[in-house]
Chains A and B, each alone.
Chain A
């Protein structure tokens, strides 16, 4: 126990010290503050304008959260994936002389700390916006932070530390929870379809005695109603059941024998999580289930060239072995967005509504998607981690081109998918459709090379967020210059010329960025 307390204390102090030394902390702090102010103002305005500030509405919002969060948490605990242990904890904590239940509480402290923050936010919002009294707020805080945390801690010990119930029992529990969530969603959908969808309908739904009598989740709602709306027979019974269940769960957890058999699952999850985290850091989209079941096909490729070209052909060989070739989740996303643009345009008669401006819909949406999403790493980024890339006797620019060539093919395919459905339903001509696709390819290339440039310039000094901000700044500047060129050419010559001018200007700026970014291919150290 002394060791765990020391671990927490030093970790927090060292993290704060380290954060205070980094300039990005202060920048992020300012952004966070501005974000909180913005959120506060928008909520304040929304609640005032919509006359939403009643305790009934607060209770409905909290009930929705309860009905979603408690089963979701239970599912994660029953699957032994709700608590996050790091490999360092596996190394130093699991083998130390600490009770395995205490180790669970050590990991759970993070959730309980979050409960305190959420509790404070709920109380503040309740008192400021929803007309709740201070005593009501304090009572809810006590319920949420103390009793709810006891229940959660007991559930953690019961699910993780249980060495009596079989794996089948917990699998059954997970299925039951999913079914429960499915039933709730189905009932909500049924009500929405058969009756006029409104917030009032949700209020009625959560006020139903049968809902308040649903074990644990419903009893939670009953306590919330009791605190904010006053006592009635149903919520008093619900509160009683909640307290009894909390005490029983606590006693069960307290008396349950736990020798630490869950360490195996926790260790496995810690390794998986660590691997996923490392991939996320590099921007690799990773779905563990898919990776576990991924099978590669037999394939071959003919190397038509040497030196840097070999990078391209090797990548092509790897992609040919991939069941989905060069396509992936981004392809599906582009197809989805394309169909959405087409469908929305068709059903809302966008041709008449937007008039000549309809030609900007697809490029507008595509630019937004490219600008907002940070992008995902593909095979090209792995080239930078491979020492052989740097040893190949060729120029950095050629290496950069051949390492990223497939990305442009992928961008063409994505561009077609995102553009064509909208082009058809909006009646955009072939020339403008082709130009829109080219513009998409150009924007994607711009994101790719400017991202690389930001990496090369900023390195690790500003962290991931800082790098992204620099990249967005560069991208924004290039798009801004491209738009000016497009507007000028559009006014002076034609719309097509405007598109063409934007592609040319953006293309040149992207090439300049790529040439500068090719420094990344000169030596590995650039990325350090």
Chain B
């Protein structure tokens, strides 16, 4: 379970996130939507512990900044950054050691095969393209065997095969009881994945829907109905 309670973040005098609270129940997929500048990235970075904030973030009912919470938490940032001198395989090995992850060598192999990285295992971080970095970043997050995973614009830069694979991975994680939060602009890509949707605008949550509440309403229609942008029928 991922709980955000009264999260507020200011950059100087600018209020980027204004008393935001939401919960992604355990084993469900939450999607965080909103136009540019709505505060999605700020929330994501706050959950990942990269920003100072007021309020609380709970991961499986533990404060997010504790080491216990960090052990079961994975984060895929919007802009992946690799270690220049580490190979793809070494990135995963680092993660395995840093998190004392139970993932086996065979599972790592499988992961690399799924994301078409098996022939790039020995490439150094500074030799990878943006798309490959994104794949490595996703593999590293999955190698943690997390209970909660945060994906910030995970589809950007991925090829169609990798997008398809990622969607399957998200559904598998959900089936395993992992809590997933995806922040994205690509509404089309998360259509079949989500259980609960949070729509942000100007630093606030302006709409929350569960799949049951939305019934057959199209995700885009819901989004534009709340934010008032785009064209809805």
Contact = CB atoms under 8 A, between A and B. Distances in A.
Contacts of A10: 85-86, 90, 93-94
Interface in A1-25: 2-4, 6-7, 10-11, 14-15, 18
B154 to A, nearest CB: 14
Interface in B119-174: 124-125, 137, 140
Interface centre among A15, A94, A95, by most B CB within 10 Å? A95
A243 B33 CA distance: 56
Interface string A246-281: 000000000000011101100100000000000000
A461 interface: no
B166 to A, nearest CB: 18
Given A7-B94, A263-B50, A264-B52, A14 B85 contact: yes
Given A3-B94, A98-B98, A259 B67 contact: no
A87 interface: yes
B198 interface: no
A168 interface: no
Interface centre among A14, A87, A92, by most B CB within 10 Å? A92
Interface in A85-118: 86-88, 90-99
Contacts, number: 88
B95 A3 contact: yes
Interface centre among A90, A99, A264, by most B CB within 10 Å? A264
A94 B95 contact: no
Contact of B99 (A97, A99, A267): A97
A515 to B, nearest CB: 34
B87 A95 contact: no
A97 B49 CA distance: 11
Contact of A267 (B50, B67, B75): B50
A119 B107 CA distance: 47
A2 B87 contact: no
A263 B83 contact: no
Contact of B85 (A3, A18, A261): A18
Contacts of A93: 98
Looking at chain A's contact residues, is the secondary structure mostly helix, strand, loop, or mixed?
helix
Contacts of A91: 77, 80-82, 137
Contact of A7 (B68, B80, B86): B86
A97 B50 contact: no
B98 A99 contact: no
A88 B94 CA distance: 12
Given A2-B100, A14-B124, A260-B65, A95 B50 contact: yes
Contacts of A263: 49-51
Contacts of A92: 83, 91, 94-95, 98, 140
Given A10-B86, A10-B90, A86-B81, A94 B50 contact: yes
A96 B51 CA distance: 15
Contacts of A87: 79, 81
A87 B140 CA distance: 16
Given A95-B70, A260-B49, A267-B50, A3 B98 contact: yes
Contacts of A260: 49, 65
Interface residues of A, number: 29
B71 A97 contact: yes
Contact of B98 (A4, A11, A259, A267): A4
Nearest to A15: B85
B85 A6 contact: no
Contacts of B68: 97
Nearest to B72: A97
Contacts of B100: 2
A189 B231 CA distance: 72
Contacts of B233: none
B223 interface: no
A14 B137 contact: no
A219 B87 CA distance: 46
A114 B60 CA distance: 42
Contacts of B87: 14
B182 to A, nearest CB: 17
B115 interface: no
B48 interface: yes
Contacts of B91: 92
B94 A6 contact: yes
Nearest to B46: A264
Contact of B82 (A14, A88, A96, A99): A88
Given A95-B70, A96-B99, A259 B65 contact: yes
A6 B97 contact: yes
Contact of B51 (A7, A88, A264): A264
B194 interface: no
B216 interface: no
Interface string A59-91: 000000000000000000000000000111011
A230 B158 CA distance: 68
Contacts of B95: 3, 92, 96
26 contacts: A3-B94, A3-B97, A7-B94, A10-B93, A14-B85, A15-B85, A18-B124, A86-B83, A87-B79, A88-B82, A88-B83, A88-B84, A90-B81, A91-B77, A91-B80, A91-B137, A92-B94, A94-B49, A95-B49, A95-B70, A95-B75, A96-B95, A96-B99, A98-B67, A263-B51, A264-B50
9 A-B pairs closest in CB distance: A3-B98, A87-B81, A97-B70, A14-B85, A3-B97, A97-B71, A96-B98, A2-B97, A259-B65
Interface of A: 2-4, 6-7, 10-11, 14-15, 18, 86-88, 90-99, 259-261, 263-264, 267
Given A2-B98, A87-B81, 9 more contacts: A6-B98, A11-B83, A14-B124, A87-B79, A92-B95, A93-B98, A95-B75, A96-B98, A99-B67
